[in-house]
Amino acid sequence: MSEGMLNMYISFAGILFLLLSIGLILLSRYKLKGVLGGIIAVIAYLFLILGSLIIFYIVFSGPTT
């Protein structure tokens, strides 16, 4: 597998983490209350941070040849 294809799959994982974090944050704010809502919110923000770091890495790693 080439480096470009590997970067593409890694960026897909980052995008998936960002989309998942959006859904979990909305779920924890509007549907869940109490401790369960707090736990889901923490997990969602961890996905947000991880997805952001992945996208940051892909964008600043530069083009592949």
Predicted TM-score (pTM) of this structure: 0.89
- Of the candidates 4, 20, 14, 23, the one whose C-alpha atom is nearest the C-alpha of residue 56 is 14
Model confidence at 65: pLDDT above 80: no
Model confidence at 27: pLDDT above 80: yes
Q: Tell me the two tokens of residue 54.
A: 């992945």
Torsion-angle region of 62 (φ positive above 0: left; ψ -120 to 50: alpha; else: beta) = left
Rounded Cα–Cα distance for residues 36 and 54 (Å): 27
Rounded Cα–Cα distance for residues 16 and 38 (Å): 21
Phi/psi at 64 (5° precision): -105, 150
- Average pLDDT value for residue range 19-42: 96
